[in-house]
Amino acid sequence: MSRPTDALLNRVLACSLGLLLFATSAMAGVCEAPQDNGIGGTGYQQQTLPPSDNGIGGTGALPGTERDGRPRDNGIGGTGVQPGLGKPEDKSIENGIGGTGLVAGNGMGGTGRRQLALFAGRVMFAKGSITARQPDGEPRYLKKDDPICEGDTLVVANDALAQLHMADAGRLMLHENSRVVIDTFRRPSQMDGTERFAITLVEGGLRAITGEIGKLHKENYAIATPVARIGIRGTDHEVFHVAQPSHGLAAGTYNRVLSGGTVVEAGGGKLALAPTQVGFVSPGASPTRLNGLPAMLGTTAADLLTTSRKSMPSVEDTTMDDVVQALRLSSNRVVIDFDGIEMVIAPAGSAYVGVNQLSKGHGTVLNSSIMDAALESAATLLDPLTNIPMAMADTDTGFNFFRSDAKLVHFRGALVDSAPVFWGLYAGGAEGAFQIDQETGEDHAVSAHHFIYSPGGATTMDVIQRINGTFTFDKIVGQSCLTDEHGRLGGRIHNMAVDVMFGGNPGVTRYDVHLTDAQQRDWHGSMNGFQSLTDFAVGQVQLQTSCSGKGCGVGHGTGSATGLLVGQQGKGLATGFGLTTQTGQTVNGVAVLSRP
Protein backbone atom coordinates (compact mmCIF):
# COMPACT_ATOMS: atom_id res chain seq x y z
CA MET A 1 0.00 0.00 0.00
CA SER A 2 1.40 3.40 -0.91
CA ARG A 3 2.05 6.04 1.70
CA PRO A 4 -0.94 8.41 2.07
CA THR A 5 -0.25 11.99 1.13
CA ASP A 6 -0.36 14.99 3.40
CA ALA A 7 -3.66 15.93 1.75
CA LEU A 8 -5.39 13.56 4.17
CA LEU A 9 -4.03 15.47 7.14
CA ASN A 10 -4.81 18.81 5.54
CA ARG A 11 -8.39 17.81 4.80
CA VAL A 12 -9.08 16.60 8.32
CA LEU A 13 -7.68 19.80 9.79
CA ALA A 14 -9.44 22.02 7.27
CA CYS A 15 -12.78 20.30 7.88
CA SER A 16 -12.58 21.34 11.50
CA LEU A 17 -13.31 24.93 10.54
CA GLY A 18 -16.96 23.95 10.54
CA LEU A 19 -16.81 23.58 14.30
CA LEU A 20 -15.89 27.23 14.67
CA LEU A 21 -18.33 28.70 12.16
CA PHE A 22 -21.63 29.74 13.65
CA ALA A 23 -24.94 30.52 11.98
CA THR A 24 -26.88 33.51 13.25
CA SER A 25 -30.22 32.55 11.72
CA ALA A 26 -33.33 31.33 13.51
CA MET A 27 -32.77 33.62 16.51
CA ALA A 28 -35.11 33.63 19.46
CA GLY A 29 -37.38 36.59 20.02
CA VAL A 30 -35.26 37.91 22.86
CA CYS A 31 -32.84 39.54 20.42
CA GLU A 32 -32.43 40.07 16.70
CA ALA A 33 -29.89 40.81 14.03
CA PRO A 34 -29.47 44.36 12.68
CA GLN A 35 -31.99 45.14 9.93
CA ASP A 36 -31.52 47.39 6.92
CA ASN A 37 -34.46 49.82 6.71
CA GLY A 38 -35.44 51.92 3.72
CA ILE A 39 -34.77 55.59 3.09
CA GLY A 40 -37.38 57.81 4.68
CA GLY A 41 -40.77 56.45 5.71
CA THR A 42 -41.29 54.88 9.09
CA GLY A 43 -38.37 52.50 9.20
CA TYR A 44 -40.55 50.32 11.43
CA GLN A 45 -40.08 46.57 11.61
CA GLN A 46 -42.93 44.28 10.60
CA GLN A 47 -44.98 42.35 13.17
CA THR A 48 -44.31 44.73 16.05
CA LEU A 49 -46.70 45.55 18.85
CA PRO A 50 -49.25 48.39 18.45
CA PRO A 51 -48.30 51.61 20.28
CA SER A 52 -50.27 53.09 23.12
CA ASP A 53 -49.34 56.60 24.23
CA ASN A 54 -46.83 58.60 22.24
CA GLY A 55 -43.89 60.40 23.79
CA ILE A 56 -42.98 64.03 23.68
CA GLY A 57 -41.46 64.05 20.22
CA GLY A 58 -37.86 64.82 19.56
CA THR A 59 -36.18 61.72 20.96
CA GLY A 60 -39.34 59.67 21.21
CA ALA A 61 -38.76 58.97 24.88
CA LEU A 62 -41.56 59.12 27.41
CA PRO A 63 -40.88 61.15 30.54
CA GLY A 64 -39.29 58.88 33.09
CA THR A 65 -37.70 56.48 30.60
CA GLU A 66 -34.30 58.10 30.87
CA ARG A 67 -31.34 55.97 31.94
CA ASP A 68 -28.26 57.59 33.47
CA GLY A 69 -29.70 60.98 32.56
CA ARG A 70 -30.10 60.09 28.88
CA PRO A 71 -33.15 59.06 26.83
CA ARG A 72 -33.06 55.32 26.42
CA ASP A 73 -31.87 53.83 23.13
CA ASN A 74 -33.12 56.66 20.88
CA GLY A 75 -31.23 58.86 18.45
CA ILE A 76 -31.69 62.46 17.35
CA GLY A 77 -35.24 63.45 16.56
CA GLY A 78 -37.86 60.77 15.90
CA THR A 79 -41.58 60.10 15.95
CA GLY A 80 -42.56 60.30 19.55
CA VAL A 81 -43.50 56.60 19.49
CA GLN A 82 -42.68 54.67 22.65
CA PRO A 83 -39.43 52.70 22.41
CA GLY A 84 -40.16 49.06 21.63
CA LEU A 85 -43.52 49.80 19.93
CA GLY A 86 -44.33 50.09 16.28
CA LYS A 87 -47.05 50.35 13.69
CA PRO A 88 -50.70 49.91 14.76
CA GLU A 89 -52.93 47.60 12.78
CA ASP A 90 -55.30 50.24 11.40
CA LYS A 91 -53.32 53.41 10.77
CA SER A 92 -49.96 54.67 9.68
CA ILE A 93 -47.41 56.32 11.93
CA GLU A 94 -46.71 60.02 11.58
CA ASN A 95 -42.96 60.42 11.57
CA GLY A 96 -40.96 63.09 13.31
CA ILE A 97 -38.70 65.61 11.66
CA GLY A 98 -35.55 63.56 11.53
CA GLY A 99 -33.43 60.81 12.98
CA THR A 100 -34.22 57.18 13.38
CA GLY A 101 -33.54 56.74 17.04
CA LEU A 102 -32.18 53.36 16.00
CA VAL A 103 -28.73 51.93 16.38
CA ALA A 104 -26.27 51.88 13.46
CA GLY A 105 -27.29 49.71 10.56
CA ASN A 106 -30.77 51.23 9.91
CA GLY A 107 -31.79 53.56 7.14
CA MET A 108 -32.50 57.27 7.14
CA GLY A 109 -35.72 58.48 8.63
CA GLY A 110 -37.87 56.15 10.70
CA THR A 111 -39.97 55.73 13.78
CA GLY A 112 -37.53 56.24 16.59
CA ARG A 113 -38.84 52.97 18.10
CA ARG A 114 -36.54 50.81 20.15
CA GLN A 115 -35.32 47.60 18.54
CA LEU A 116 -35.10 44.28 20.19
CA ALA A 117 -31.61 43.87 21.59
CA LEU A 118 -29.12 42.88 18.90
CA PHE A 119 -28.09 39.25 18.66
CA ALA A 120 -24.52 38.75 19.89
CA GLY A 121 -24.03 34.99 20.03
CA ARG A 122 -25.28 31.73 21.42
CA VAL A 123 -24.53 29.44 24.33
CA MET A 124 -22.23 26.67 23.21
CA PHE A 125 -21.89 24.94 26.59
CA ALA A 126 -23.61 25.60 29.92
CA LYS A 127 -23.05 23.90 33.24
CA GLY A 128 -24.69 25.05 36.45
CA SER A 129 -26.65 28.24 37.03
CA ILE A 130 -26.04 30.89 34.34
CA THR A 131 -28.37 33.82 33.80
CA ALA A 132 -28.68 36.68 31.31
CA ARG A 133 -30.64 39.85 31.94
CA GLN A 134 -31.46 42.89 29.85
CA PRO A 135 -31.45 46.26 31.66
CA ASP A 136 -35.26 46.32 31.74
CA GLY A 137 -35.96 42.60 31.75
CA GLU A 138 -36.16 39.57 33.97
CA PRO A 139 -33.31 37.06 34.35
CA ARG A 140 -33.19 34.31 31.71
CA TYR A 141 -31.69 31.00 32.79
CA LEU A 142 -29.40 29.92 29.99
CA LYS A 143 -28.89 26.52 28.45
CA LYS A 144 -27.14 25.24 25.36
CA ASP A 145 -28.13 27.04 22.12
CA ASP A 146 -29.86 29.96 23.91
CA PRO A 147 -29.16 33.40 22.37
CA ILE A 148 -26.96 36.07 23.96
CA CYS A 149 -27.86 39.70 23.27
CA GLU A 150 -26.27 43.11 23.31
CA GLY A 151 -27.02 44.65 26.70
CA ASP A 152 -27.14 41.34 28.55
CA THR A 153 -25.56 41.04 31.96
CA LEU A 154 -24.36 37.46 32.31
CA VAL A 155 -23.96 35.94 35.76
CA VAL A 156 -22.15 32.62 36.21
CA ALA A 157 -22.74 31.09 39.63
CA ASN A 158 -20.39 29.08 41.81
CA ASP A 159 -19.39 25.72 40.27
CA ALA A 160 -20.84 26.86 36.93
CA LEU A 161 -19.22 27.34 33.53
CA ALA A 162 -20.33 28.85 30.22
CA GLN A 163 -18.92 28.86 26.71
CA LEU A 164 -20.31 31.36 24.21
CA HIS A 165 -19.96 31.30 20.45
CA MET A 166 -20.23 34.88 19.27
CA ALA A 167 -21.91 35.89 16.02
CA ASP A 168 -18.56 36.90 14.50
CA ALA A 169 -17.13 33.38 15.19
CA GLY A 170 -15.27 34.51 18.31
CA ARG A 171 -15.53 32.62 21.58
CA LEU A 172 -15.87 33.47 25.23
CA MET A 173 -15.51 31.09 28.15
CA LEU A 174 -16.86 32.43 31.43
CA HIS A 175 -15.50 31.07 34.68
CA GLU A 176 -17.51 30.44 37.81
CA ASN A 177 -18.44 33.41 40.03
CA SER A 178 -18.22 35.80 37.09
CA ARG A 179 -20.30 38.75 35.93
CA VAL A 180 -19.96 40.04 32.36
CA VAL A 181 -21.86 42.79 30.53
CA ILE A 182 -22.20 42.67 26.73
CA ASP A 183 -21.97 46.44 26.30
CA THR A 184 -21.89 46.60 22.51
CA PHE A 185 -22.01 43.95 19.82
CA ARG A 186 -22.53 45.03 16.22
CA ARG A 187 -21.81 42.65 13.39
CA PRO A 188 -23.30 44.10 10.17
CA SER A 189 -23.82 41.96 7.10
CA GLN A 190 -20.80 43.65 5.53
CA MET A 191 -17.76 44.24 7.73
CA ASP A 192 -17.36 47.91 6.90
CA GLY A 193 -15.78 49.36 10.03
CA THR A 194 -19.04 49.97 11.89
CA GLU A 195 -18.77 46.64 13.70
CA ARG A 196 -18.15 46.79 17.45
CA PHE A 197 -17.30 44.41 20.27
CA ALA A 198 -17.17 45.78 23.81
CA ILE A 199 -17.74 43.87 27.03
CA THR A 200 -17.09 44.57 30.70
CA LEU A 201 -15.83 41.94 33.11
CA VAL A 202 -17.27 43.20 36.38
CA GLU A 203 -15.85 40.33 38.41
CA GLY A 204 -14.52 36.81 37.94
CA GLY A 205 -12.68 35.51 34.90
CA LEU A 206 -13.03 34.80 31.21
CA ARG A 207 -11.07 33.63 28.23
CA ALA A 208 -11.61 35.32 24.88
CA ILE A 209 -10.69 34.17 21.37
CA THR A 210 -11.30 36.98 18.92
CA GLY A 211 -13.56 36.55 15.92
CA GLU A 212 -13.98 38.59 12.75
CA ILE A 213 -14.37 41.92 14.53
CA GLY A 214 -11.10 41.60 16.40
CA LYS A 215 -9.25 40.29 13.37
CA LEU A 216 -10.44 42.86 10.82
CA HIS A 217 -10.83 45.99 12.96
CA LYS A 218 -8.88 45.54 16.16
CA GLU A 219 -9.54 49.12 17.19
CA ASN A 220 -13.26 48.27 17.49
CA TYR A 221 -12.69 45.47 20.00
CA ALA A 222 -12.20 46.02 23.72
CA ILE A 223 -12.65 44.33 27.07
CA ALA A 224 -13.03 46.54 30.12
CA THR A 225 -12.89 45.89 33.86
CA PRO A 226 -13.57 48.31 36.71
CA VAL A 227 -9.91 49.37 36.64
CA ALA A 228 -8.60 48.78 33.11
CA ARG A 229 -9.27 48.65 29.39
CA ILE A 230 -7.77 45.88 27.22
CA GLY A 231 -7.29 46.19 23.47
CA ILE A 232 -6.13 43.34 21.26
CA ARG A 233 -4.00 42.37 18.27
CA GLY A 234 -5.69 39.17 17.00
CA THR A 235 -5.70 37.42 20.30
CA ASP A 236 -6.45 34.46 22.53
CA HIS A 237 -6.16 35.71 26.10
CA GLU A 238 -7.50 35.42 29.63
CA VAL A 239 -8.80 38.24 31.84
CA PHE A 240 -9.52 38.03 35.56
CA HIS A 241 -10.82 40.75 37.86
CA VAL A 242 -10.47 40.30 41.61
CA ALA A 243 -12.74 42.76 43.39
CA GLN A 244 -11.41 42.16 46.91
CA PRO A 245 -8.05 40.73 48.00
CA SER A 246 -8.28 37.19 49.34
CA HIS A 247 -5.93 34.34 50.21
CA GLY A 248 -2.91 36.36 49.20
CA LEU A 249 -4.38 37.34 45.82
CA ALA A 250 -4.19 41.10 45.24
CA ALA A 251 -7.28 42.97 44.08
CA GLY A 252 -7.20 44.19 40.49
CA THR A 253 -7.19 42.98 36.89
CA TYR A 254 -4.97 40.22 35.52
CA ASN A 255 -4.45 39.64 31.79
CA ARG A 256 -2.54 36.69 30.31
CA VAL A 257 -1.88 36.39 26.57
CA LEU A 258 -1.94 32.93 25.00
CA SER A 259 -1.47 34.03 21.38
CA GLY A 260 -1.42 37.34 19.56
CA GLY A 261 -1.10 40.33 21.87
CA THR A 262 -2.96 42.80 24.06
CA VAL A 263 -2.53 46.38 25.22
CA VAL A 264 -3.63 47.07 28.80
CA GLU A 265 -4.54 50.69 29.58
CA ALA A 266 -5.08 52.12 33.06
CA GLY A 267 -4.06 55.08 35.19
CA GLY A 268 -2.71 56.97 32.19
CA GLY A 269 -0.31 54.17 31.28
CA LYS A 270 -0.19 51.44 28.62
CA LEU A 271 1.40 48.00 28.69
CA ALA A 272 1.80 45.78 25.61
CA LEU A 273 1.75 42.04 26.27
CA ALA A 274 3.05 39.25 24.03
CA PRO A 275 2.26 35.50 24.23
CA THR A 276 2.86 33.96 27.70
CA GLN A 277 3.15 37.41 29.31
CA VAL A 278 0.90 38.53 32.17
CA GLY A 279 -0.14 42.07 33.05
CA PHE A 280 -1.67 43.36 36.29
CA VAL A 281 -3.54 46.55 37.20
CA SER A 282 -4.33 47.47 40.78
CA PRO A 283 -7.07 50.05 41.40
CA GLY A 284 -5.92 53.54 40.42
CA ALA A 285 -2.51 52.38 39.18
CA SER A 286 -0.82 51.94 35.83
CA PRO A 287 -0.38 48.39 34.45
CA THR A 288 2.69 46.35 35.36
CA ARG A 289 4.06 43.02 34.14
CA LEU A 290 4.08 39.92 36.36
CA ASN A 291 6.32 36.86 36.11
CA GLY A 292 3.28 34.63 35.75
CA LEU A 293 -0.42 34.23 36.42
CA PRO A 294 -1.18 33.51 40.10
CA ALA A 295 -1.83 29.79 40.57
CA MET A 296 -5.19 30.49 42.22
CA LEU A 297 -6.61 31.78 38.94
CA GLY A 298 -7.82 28.69 37.12
CA THR A 299 -8.20 28.21 33.38
CA THR A 300 -10.64 26.70 30.99
CA ALA A 301 -9.54 23.11 30.51
CA ALA A 302 -9.26 22.53 34.23
CA ASP A 303 -12.69 24.03 34.79
CA LEU A 304 -14.24 21.88 32.08
CA LEU A 305 -12.72 18.68 33.46
CA THR A 306 -13.85 19.51 36.98
CA THR A 307 -17.36 20.32 35.81
CA SER A 308 -17.59 17.22 33.62
CA ARG A 309 -16.47 15.03 36.49
CA LYS A 310 -19.24 16.42 38.68
CA SER A 311 -21.88 16.06 35.98
CA MET A 312 -21.66 12.33 35.34
CA PRO A 313 -20.93 9.22 37.45
CA SER A 314 -17.57 7.56 36.99
CA VAL A 315 -16.60 3.92 37.19
CA GLU A 316 -13.29 5.01 38.55
CA ASP A 317 -12.77 8.55 39.83
CA THR A 318 -9.02 8.84 39.51
CA THR A 319 -8.93 12.53 38.67
CA MET A 320 -6.91 14.52 41.20
CA ASP A 321 -5.77 18.07 41.73
CA ASP A 322 -2.47 17.30 40.02
CA VAL A 323 -4.33 16.25 36.89
CA VAL A 324 -6.46 19.37 36.88
CA GLN A 325 -3.29 21.42 37.22
CA ALA A 326 -1.70 19.48 34.36
CA LEU A 327 -4.64 20.27 32.10
CA ARG A 328 -4.17 23.99 32.51
CA LEU A 329 -3.00 25.82 29.45
CA SER A 330 0.74 26.21 29.24
CA SER A 331 2.93 28.58 27.27
CA ASN A 332 4.16 25.92 24.83
CA ARG A 333 0.89 25.41 23.00
CA VAL A 334 1.04 25.80 19.23
CA VAL A 335 -1.64 27.99 17.67
CA ILE A 336 -2.10 27.86 13.91
CA ASP A 337 -4.34 29.84 11.62
CA PHE A 338 -6.67 28.37 8.98
CA ASP A 339 -8.38 31.07 6.90
CA GLY A 340 -8.27 33.50 9.81
CA ILE A 341 -9.52 31.06 12.44
CA GLU A 342 -7.16 29.90 15.17
CA MET A 343 -6.72 26.19 15.94
CA VAL A 344 -4.61 24.45 18.53
CA ILE A 345 -2.28 21.61 17.59
CA ALA A 346 -1.27 19.05 20.21
CA PRO A 347 2.38 19.49 21.22
CA ALA A 348 5.10 17.25 19.85
CA GLY A 349 5.56 14.06 21.84
CA SER A 350 1.86 13.77 22.63
CA ALA A 351 0.35 10.28 22.57
CA TYR A 352 -2.98 9.46 20.94
CA VAL A 353 -4.80 6.11 20.89
CA GLY A 354 -7.98 5.97 18.80
CA VAL A 355 -10.62 3.31 18.15
CA ASN A 356 -13.16 4.07 15.40
CA GLN A 357 -16.29 1.93 15.46
CA LEU A 358 -17.67 2.33 11.96
CA SER A 359 -21.40 2.57 11.38
CA LYS A 360 -23.61 -0.15 9.85
CA GLY A 361 -21.37 -3.01 10.93
CA HIS A 362 -18.43 -1.93 8.79
CA GLY A 363 -15.91 -2.95 11.43
CA THR A 364 -13.44 -1.32 13.79
CA VAL A 365 -10.28 0.64 12.94
CA LEU A 366 -7.69 1.37 15.62
CA ASN A 367 -4.30 3.04 15.83
CA SER A 368 -1.78 4.66 18.17
CA SER A 369 0.32 7.69 17.22
CA ILE A 370 2.94 10.03 18.61
CA MET A 371 2.67 13.62 17.43
CA ASP A 372 5.72 14.98 15.60
CA ALA A 373 6.80 18.61 15.73
CA ALA A 374 6.74 19.06 11.94
CA LEU A 375 3.18 17.68 11.59
CA GLU A 376 4.49 15.45 8.80
CA SER A 377 3.23 12.09 10.06
CA ALA A 378 0.67 12.71 12.79
CA ALA A 379 -1.27 15.61 14.26
CA THR A 380 -4.08 16.01 16.76
CA LEU A 381 -6.32 19.06 16.60
CA LEU A 382 -7.61 20.37 19.93
CA ASP A 383 -10.63 22.48 20.74
CA PRO A 384 -9.10 25.94 21.34
CA LEU A 385 -11.21 26.50 24.46
CA THR A 386 -10.97 23.12 26.17
CA ASN A 387 -7.83 21.45 24.75
CA ILE A 388 -9.89 18.27 24.22
CA PRO A 389 -9.14 16.42 20.94
CA MET A 390 -11.65 17.01 18.14
CA ALA A 391 -9.75 15.68 15.10
CA MET A 392 -6.75 13.46 14.46
CA ALA A 393 -4.83 12.24 11.42
CA ASP A 394 -1.89 9.85 10.97
CA THR A 395 -0.59 10.01 7.41
CA ASP A 396 1.68 6.98 7.91
CA THR A 397 -1.23 4.61 8.60
CA GLY A 398 -4.17 6.55 7.16
CA PHE A 399 -6.02 6.50 10.49
CA ASN A 400 -8.04 9.64 11.11
CA PHE A 401 -11.05 10.94 12.98
CA PHE A 402 -13.18 14.07 12.78
CA ARG A 403 -15.70 14.84 15.51
CA SER A 404 -18.26 16.81 13.47
CA ASP A 405 -21.25 17.14 15.85
CA ALA A 406 -20.68 13.90 17.78
CA LYS A 407 -21.15 14.36 21.53
CA LEU A 408 -18.44 13.94 24.15
CA VAL A 409 -20.30 11.46 26.35
CA HIS A 410 -17.38 10.40 28.53
CA PHE A 411 -14.21 12.22 29.60
CA ARG A 412 -11.83 11.47 32.46
CA GLY A 413 -8.20 12.03 33.37
CA ALA A 414 -5.41 10.89 35.65
CA LEU A 415 -1.72 11.45 36.26
CA VAL A 416 0.34 8.41 35.21
CA ASP A 417 4.10 8.36 35.74
CA SER A 418 4.11 12.19 35.93
CA ALA A 419 2.23 12.44 32.60
CA PRO A 420 -1.34 13.78 32.30
CA VAL A 421 -3.50 11.19 30.50
CA PHE A 422 -7.10 11.69 29.41
CA TRP A 423 -9.57 9.25 27.93
CA GLY A 424 -13.07 9.57 26.57
CA LEU A 425 -15.75 8.65 24.05
CA TYR A 426 -17.51 10.53 21.24
CA ALA A 427 -20.90 9.18 20.10
CA GLY A 428 -24.28 10.34 18.82
CA GLY A 429 -25.07 13.69 17.20
CA ALA A 430 -27.25 14.50 14.20
CA GLU A 431 -24.43 13.86 11.73
CA GLY A 432 -22.01 12.11 14.07
CA ALA A 433 -18.30 11.63 13.59
CA PHE A 434 -16.56 10.39 10.45
CA GLN A 435 -13.25 9.23 9.05
CA ILE A 436 -11.81 9.83 5.58
CA ASP A 437 -10.86 6.86 3.44
CA GLN A 438 -7.16 7.23 2.62
CA GLU A 439 -7.52 5.82 -0.91
CA THR A 440 -10.92 7.05 -2.15
CA GLY A 441 -11.25 10.26 -0.13
CA GLU A 442 -14.81 9.29 0.83
CA ASP A 443 -16.23 9.95 4.29
CA HIS A 444 -17.25 6.96 6.43
CA ALA A 445 -19.55 7.44 9.41
CA VAL A 446 -18.10 6.62 12.82
CA SER A 447 -20.75 5.61 15.37
CA ALA A 448 -18.34 5.73 18.31
CA HIS A 449 -14.79 7.01 18.79
CA HIS A 450 -12.84 5.91 21.87
CA PHE A 451 -9.66 7.87 22.55
CA ILE A 452 -6.75 8.35 24.93
CA TYR A 453 -4.74 11.56 24.78
CA SER A 454 -1.58 12.41 26.73
CA PRO A 455 -0.22 15.90 25.94
CA GLY A 456 3.54 15.53 25.60
CA GLY A 457 3.35 12.28 27.55
CA ALA A 458 4.57 9.58 25.13
CA THR A 459 7.53 7.59 26.47
CA THR A 460 10.58 8.08 24.24
CA MET A 461 12.29 5.11 22.60
CA ASP A 462 15.55 6.05 24.32
CA VAL A 463 13.91 5.50 27.71
CA ILE A 464 12.31 2.22 26.59
CA GLN A 465 15.61 0.82 25.31
CA ARG A 466 17.55 1.82 28.43
CA ILE A 467 15.24 -0.29 30.64
CA ASN A 468 15.73 -4.06 30.68
CA GLY A 469 13.19 -6.71 31.53
CA THR A 470 9.54 -7.60 30.98
CA PHE A 471 6.90 -5.76 33.01
CA THR A 472 3.21 -6.46 33.54
CA PHE A 473 0.70 -3.62 33.21
CA ASP A 474 -2.35 -4.81 35.13
CA LYS A 475 -3.62 -1.90 37.21
CA ILE A 476 -6.59 -0.28 35.47
CA VAL A 477 -6.22 3.47 35.91
CA GLY A 478 -9.20 4.29 33.69
CA GLN A 479 -11.40 3.01 30.89
CA SER A 480 -13.88 4.46 28.43
CA CYS A 481 -17.53 3.45 28.26
CA LEU A 482 -17.62 0.27 26.19
CA THR A 483 -19.71 0.14 22.99
CA ASP A 484 -21.29 -2.86 21.25
CA GLU A 485 -22.42 -3.52 17.67
CA HIS A 486 -25.71 -1.67 18.27
CA GLY A 487 -23.98 1.40 19.67
CA ARG A 488 -25.11 0.66 23.22
CA LEU A 489 -22.90 2.16 25.92
CA GLY A 490 -22.13 0.30 29.11
CA GLY A 491 -20.38 -2.59 30.80
CA ARG A 492 -16.86 -2.56 32.18
CA ILE A 493 -13.46 -4.17 31.99
CA HIS A 494 -13.02 -6.57 34.91
CA ASN A 495 -9.42 -7.62 34.41
CA MET A 496 -6.70 -6.62 32.01
CA ALA A 497 -2.99 -7.47 31.78
CA VAL A 498 -0.40 -6.63 29.16
CA ASP A 499 3.22 -7.82 29.33
CA VAL A 500 5.72 -5.47 27.69
CA MET A 501 9.36 -6.37 27.10
CA PHE A 502 11.68 -3.36 27.33
CA GLY A 503 15.22 -3.12 25.95
CA GLY A 504 16.76 -3.18 22.48
CA ASN A 505 13.88 -5.08 20.83
CA PRO A 506 10.80 -3.93 22.75
CA GLY A 507 7.44 -5.58 22.21
CA VAL A 508 4.26 -7.05 23.68
CA THR A 509 4.45 -10.67 24.81
CA ARG A 510 0.98 -11.07 26.34
CA TYR A 511 -2.35 -9.27 26.03
CA ASP A 512 -5.36 -10.36 28.06
CA VAL A 513 -8.69 -8.60 28.64
CA HIS A 514 -11.89 -9.80 30.35
CA LEU A 515 -15.01 -7.63 30.25
CA THR A 516 -18.81 -7.47 30.29
CA ASP A 517 -20.64 -5.32 27.73
CA ALA A 518 -23.93 -3.39 27.88
CA GLN A 519 -25.88 -6.57 27.05
CA GLN A 520 -24.25 -8.40 29.97
CA ARG A 521 -22.35 -10.64 27.58
CA ASP A 522 -19.05 -11.95 28.89
CA TRP A 523 -16.04 -11.34 26.62
CA HIS A 524 -12.43 -12.52 26.66
CA GLY A 525 -9.61 -11.57 24.31
CA SER A 526 -6.04 -12.84 24.52
CA MET A 527 -2.68 -13.09 22.78
CA ASN A 528 0.48 -14.93 23.79
CA GLY A 529 3.61 -14.54 21.66
CA PHE A 530 5.56 -11.51 20.55
CA GLN A 531 4.63 -8.38 18.60
CA SER A 532 6.96 -5.39 18.35
CA LEU A 533 5.85 -2.08 19.80
CA THR A 534 5.74 -0.75 16.25
CA ASP A 535 3.23 -3.44 15.26
CA PHE A 536 1.32 -2.86 18.49
CA ALA A 537 0.94 0.84 17.65
CA VAL A 538 -0.64 0.13 14.26
CA GLY A 539 -3.11 -2.42 15.66
CA GLN A 540 -1.34 -5.60 14.58
CA VAL A 541 -1.71 -7.46 17.89
CA GLN A 542 -4.27 -10.15 17.00
CA LEU A 543 -6.51 -11.51 19.76
CA GLN A 544 -8.36 -14.78 20.11
CA THR A 545 -11.89 -13.80 21.12
CA SER A 546 -14.69 -15.57 22.93
CA CYS A 547 -18.17 -14.34 23.89
CA SER A 548 -20.62 -16.11 26.21
CA GLY A 549 -24.19 -15.26 27.10
CA LYS A 550 -27.39 -14.44 25.23
CA GLY A 551 -26.79 -12.76 21.86
CA CYS A 552 -23.20 -13.96 21.31
CA GLY A 553 -23.89 -15.74 18.03
CA VAL A 554 -21.30 -18.45 17.40
CA GLY A 555 -19.43 -17.21 20.46
CA HIS A 556 -15.91 -17.04 19.06
CA GLY A 557 -13.92 -14.88 16.69
CA THR A 558 -10.96 -12.54 16.48
CA GLY A 559 -9.93 -9.15 17.70
CA SER A 560 -7.10 -6.65 17.59
CA ALA A 561 -5.35 -4.30 19.98
CA THR A 562 -3.23 -1.17 19.76
CA GLY A 563 -1.30 0.90 22.25
CA LEU A 564 1.83 2.72 23.32
CA LEU A 565 3.73 3.56 26.48
CA VAL A 566 3.25 6.84 28.35
CA GLY A 567 5.09 8.51 31.20
CA GLN A 568 8.63 9.55 31.94
CA GLN A 569 9.74 6.00 32.79
CA GLY A 570 7.27 4.05 30.69
CA LYS A 571 5.10 3.12 33.66
CA GLY A 572 1.84 3.79 31.87
CA LEU A 573 0.20 2.01 28.93
CA ALA A 574 -2.54 3.51 26.74
CA THR A 575 -4.34 0.80 24.81
CA GLY A 576 -7.42 0.27 22.66
CA PHE A 577 -9.09 -2.92 21.47
CA GLY A 578 -11.90 -4.32 19.35
CA LEU A 579 -13.35 -7.82 19.81
CA THR A 580 -15.59 -9.43 17.19
CA THR A 581 -17.31 -12.80 16.76
CA GLN A 582 -17.63 -14.53 13.41
CA THR A 583 -21.32 -13.63 13.37
CA GLY A 584 -20.74 -9.88 13.82
CA GLN A 585 -21.12 -9.23 17.55
CA THR A 586 -18.59 -6.62 18.73
CA VAL A 587 -17.32 -4.71 21.72
CA ASN A 588 -14.80 -1.85 21.67
CA GLY A 589 -13.03 0.34 24.19
CA VAL A 590 -9.83 1.90 25.51
CA ALA A 591 -8.05 1.62 28.84
CA VAL A 592 -5.14 3.19 30.67
CA LEU A 593 -2.98 0.72 32.61
CA SER A 594 0.03 1.14 34.89
CA ARG A 595 2.83 -0.97 36.31
CA PRO A 596 4.81 -0.66 39.56
CATH number, domain with residue 144: 2.60.120.1440
Cα distance between residue 354 and residue 399, in whole Å:
9
Cα distance between residue 395 and residue 440, in whole Å:
14
What's the pLDDT at 226? 96
Q: Are 513 and 435 contained in the same domain?
A: yes
Q: Are 500 and 528 contained in the same domain?
A: yes
Domain end marker among 249, 269, 299:
299
Q: Convert the pLDDT of each residue in 63-120 to its tens digit.
A: 344 434 433 444 444 444 444 433 333 333 333 334 444 333 444 444 444 456 789 9
Q: Are 435 and 394 contained in the same domain?
A: yes
Q: Convert the pLDDT of each residue in 469-504 to its tens digit.
A: 999 999 999 999 999 999 899 999 999 999 999 999
Q: Is the pLDDT of residue 130 over 50?
A: yes
Q: Are 416 and 288 contained in the same domain?
A: no
What's the pLDDT at 363? 86
In the three-class reduction of DSSP (H, G, I as helix; E, B as strand; rest coil), residue 156 is classed as: strand
What's the pLDDT at 261? 87
Residue 528 CB-density burial (10 A; 0-12 exposed, 13-18 middle, 19+ buried): exposed
Q: Are 366 and 239 contained in the same domain?
A: no
Q: Is residue 9 part of a domain?
A: no
Q: Are 257 and 360 contained in the same domain?
A: no
Whether 402 and 435 have beta carbons less than 8 Å apart is answered as yes
Q: Convert the pLDDT of each residue in 332-356 to its tens digit.
A: 444 444 434 455 788 889 999 999 9
Q: Are 388 and 244 contained in the same domain?
A: no
Helices and strands: H and E segment counts in the chain = 7, 39
What are the φ and ψ backbone dihedral angles of 327, each rounded to 5 degrees?
-75, -20
In the three-class reduction of DSSP (H, G, I as helix; E, B as strand; rest coil), residue 483 is classed as: strand
Cα distance between residue 476 and residue 591, in whole Å:
7
Residue 70 carries which DSSP code?
B
Q: What is the pTM of this model?
A: 0.53
Is the Cα dihedral 516, 519, 522, 528 positive or negative? Answer: negative
Contacts (Cβ under 8 Å, ≥6 apart) of 534: none
Q: Are 200 and 284 contained in the same domain?
A: yes
Cα distance between residue 210 and residue 221, in whole Å:
9
Residue 531 CB-density burial (10 A; 0-12 exposed, 13-18 middle, 19+ buried): middle
**What's the total number of domains in the chain?**
2
Whether 192 and 213 have beta carbons less than 8 Å apart is answered as no
Q: Are 276 and 340 contained in the same domain?
A: no
Q: Convert the pLDDT of each residue in 243-278 to its tens digit.
A: 998 877 899 999 988 778 899 999 999 999 987 789
Cα distance between residue 186 and residue 196, in whole Å:
5
Q: Is the pLDDT of residue 566 over 50?
A: yes
Write out the residue range of the structural domain in which residue 277 sits.
Answer: 117-299
